Amino acid sequence: MAYWLMKSEPDAFSIDDLEKVDVEPWDGVRNYQARNFMRQMQVGDHIFFYHSNTKVPGIVGVMTVAKAAYPDPTQFNPESKYYDPKSDPDKPRWDLVEVKFGKKWQQVLSLQTLKNMPELANFKLVQKGNRLSVMPVSEQHWQTIMQVASEFA
């Protein structure tokens, strides 16, 4: 069992959207590091849902891996904004995982709050210049964050 964090811009896809559909293919990841992390995910792994590029960026809830990595079909669709003409159908470049809604928290656990927690100082998310949209979370960090969230979840 592993723990992860995935970012999404709520304008594109929010936790409310996920709650409505319950399960969603997390398409559009076009970064090799992020892709490699998705390939490591196993069904049942826990994931923080993070809203980026919004007024109050932060973790908004939790979800789980519903289906392990498989090729992202949008890479082959010229109509898609995620279309990648360089990806060979015989050797797909990009994968996705399917995620399942878990819980939406009563309030956002803001990036600012996370940055203020000394226990999270070595968590990638709070470090300067971090742009990775899929990242692992240590069990210790997961529990620290869940503890804080439980105060308002």
Partner DNA sequence: GCCAACGTTGGC
147 belongs to the binding site for DNA (CB under 7 A): no
CA distances from 34 to 5, 9, 96, 107, 113 (A): 10, 16, 10, 27, 24
The DSSP H or E segment spanning 22 is none
Residue 103 in contact with residue 61, Cβ under 8 Å?
A: yes
- Alpha helices in 13-124, H assignment, sequence order: 15-21, 32-40, 111-115
Strands, E assignment, the chain: 3-8, 23-25, 46-51, 58-71, 95-110, 134-137
Query: Which residue, 1 or 81, has its beta carbon nearer to DNA?
Result: 81
Mask: binding to DNA, 7-46, rule CB under 7 A, as x and -? x-x--------------------xxxx-------------
Q: How far is the CB of 29 from DNA (least distance, A)?
A: 9
Q: How far is the CB of 32 from DNA (least distance, A)?
A: 4
Query: Which residue, 130 or 140, has its beta carbon nearer to DNA?
Result: 130
Site for DNA in 79-138 (CB under 7 A): 86, 111-112, 115, 128-133
Q: How far is the CB of 125 from DNA (least distance, A)?
A: 8
Reduced to 3 states, what is the DSSP secondary structure of residue 85? coil
Query: Which residue, 85 or 89, has its beta carbon nearer to DNA?
Result: 85
Among residues 36, 33, 37, the alpha carbon closest in space to that of 5 is found at 37
Among 20, 22, 39, 53, binds DNA (CB under 7 A): 53
Q: What count of other Cβ atoms lies within 10 Å of the Cβ of residue 140?
A: 12
Q: How far is the CB of 28 from DNA (least distance, A)?
A: 8
Interface ranges with DNA (CB under 7 A): 7, 9, 30-33, 52-54, 57, 86, 111-112, 115, 128-133
